[in-house]
Copies of this chain bind each other. A is one copy, B any other.
Amino acid sequence: MPSSVSQATASDNIASAGAQRLSRETLLAHFERVRAATESLAAPLTPEDQMLQSMEDASPARWHRAHTTWFFETFVLKPHDPTYQPVDPIYDYLFNSYYQSVGPQYPRPNRGLVSRPSVAEVGTYRSQVDAALLSFAQSTDDDIWQTIAPLIELGLHHEQQHQELLVTDLKHALSFNPMWPAVYPAPQNQSDAAPALGWVDFPGGITMCGHSGDLANDGFAYDCEGPRHQVLLRDYALATRPTTNAEYLEFVRDGGYTDPRWWHAEGWDRAQADQWQAPLYWIQDNTASDTWTTYTLHGRVDVNPHEPVCHISFFEAAAYAAWRSEQGCDVRLPTEFELEHAAAGLEPAGNFAGPQPGQSALHPKSADGEAQLKQVFGDVWEWTQSAYTPYPGFKPVAGAIGEYNGKFMANQMVLRGGSVATAENHMRATYRNFFPAHARWQFSGLRLARDT
């Protein structure tokens, strides 16, 4: 990933601030950085790469680039800039994802069947919308600015989500190529060992979780992160770091994938049907030798035992915890509130995709450092035992923007903490990511918890 793209630093991390209190200059500078970061991720990809759609749940990189642009065009420019001329009316149809109230959507499973506009034209589309938005936003009067600033900020977070999906969808698609393409640079400075697993105790009690919704003072958050509300916790402990490949391999070698005792019924059925034998992308090169490789965005490599295990489903995470409990220590997956509580005081720093995308290898690394709880943020999303359901008092925003989160609150599990593919300034302690229990193509791992 080219290193020339992003100059964001922690000090001007505007994602931790509400748009309303940001000057236009700051927000628009952030706009430029986030938009550039997407292009930075796409830069090493060929037009052919950007066409790939390997499953219905994934989208081509080309589409991610266009759809995030459509978001600004649809929610900022068209309704607020009377002089705006849409780049092409059909883009409304092609690049709407699932906003039913905006209009019909080109069928999701067919996104990979659209070769025109070309990848270059998508680039032009991005440039034109960027120029139009910047020009409009810089010159519009303050009333309108107050209206569009939160939409711009939302659009940037939306785009950062799609940056992560661009990476994970791409990895999934490229894994079908037996040439194991290496598209991003290999990681540097990888630790040779993970610290031994320890535990950090947390006292229970009533605690506040979720976001206040006061974006001006408390920074940006999605609607589903609020309302902030009281949560009753019991005493609990969290593992000092996520589960490693070495630990997970014990489960694999002990026949974890062939013993239904550890599995949810649906997880077992899925594992059998899809012939899961290890985390996604792992290949056992030689049954006898018991060595494993895995596909990464820098090519196929040996599984590093010290890294956090990654690309597992909720079902696998839960099965691992059930199996590990039989080894003598009563463990489980944490709830989303336990992880939020534990992370509440911490800076959202870690092995992220950026602010400078070029600094990241888009691959988890072994835990290190002095923090008691390591890798709370970054590296791998951590599956929780919490279903993605509305917080007390949650109500979606009216209109299309309200379609963002609430309509997915069924059959999804919450993940916390961000991954190597997450932008650092997109993360916060209240962040609720969510995926179906069987999803494996995100950078998803686990951290054990236990009652104390």
Contact = CB atoms under 8 A, between A and B. Distances in A.
Contact-residue bracket for chain A: 35 or more
A51 interface: yes
Contact of A113 (B52, B232, B318): B52
Interface string A299-340: 000000000000000110010000000000010000000000
A55 B73 CA distance: 33
Nearest to A46: B118
Contacts of A114: 176-177
A101 B261 contact: yes
A410 interface: yes
A328 to B, nearest CB: 14
Given A49-B116, A113-B54, A93 B178 contact: yes
Contacts of A2: none
Contacts of A268: 100, 407
Nearest to A113: B176
A436 B436 CA distance: 14
Interface in A370-402: 385-387, 389-390, 392-393, 395
B407 A264 contact: yes
A287 to B, nearest CB: 19
Interface in A58-99: 62, 90, 93-94, 98
A30 to B, nearest CB: 29
A274 B115 CA distance: 24
A192 B147 CA distance: 53
A49 B94 contact: no
Contact of A410 (B46, B179, B314): B314
A100 B272 CA distance: 13
A199 to B, nearest CB: 17
A410 B266 contact: yes
Copies of this chain, whole number: 4
A414 to B, nearest CB: 10
A364 interface: no
A452 to B, nearest CB: 11
A413 B387 CA distance: 10
A119 interface: yes
Contacts of A112: 112
Given A264-B410, A266-B410, A90 B178 contact: yes
A437 interface: yes
Interface string A252-289: 00000000110111111000000000000000000000
A437 B410 contact: yes
Contact of A266 (B49, B118, B411): B411
A80 to B, nearest CB: 23
A213 interface: no
Given A46-B118, A113-B177, 9 more contacts: A48-B115, A101-B261, A113-B176, A114-B177, A231-B232, A266-B408, A267-B410, A268-B407, A330-B395
Which A-B residue pairs are the 3 nearest by beta carbons? A387-B387, A48-B115, A100-B260
Interface of A: 46-52, 54, 62, 90, 93-94, 98, 100-101, 106, 110, 112-119, 173-174, 176-179, 181, 206, 229-232, 234, 260-261, 263-268, 314-315, 318, 330, 385-387, 389-390, 392-393, 395, 407-411, 413, 436-437, 451
19 contacts: A46-B47, A46-B116, A47-B48, A51-B115, A52-B115, A54-B113, A90-B179, A101-B260, A110-B176, A114-B176, A116-B181, A117-B179, A264-B407, A264-B409, A264-B410, A314-B410, A330-B395, A392-B451, A411-B411
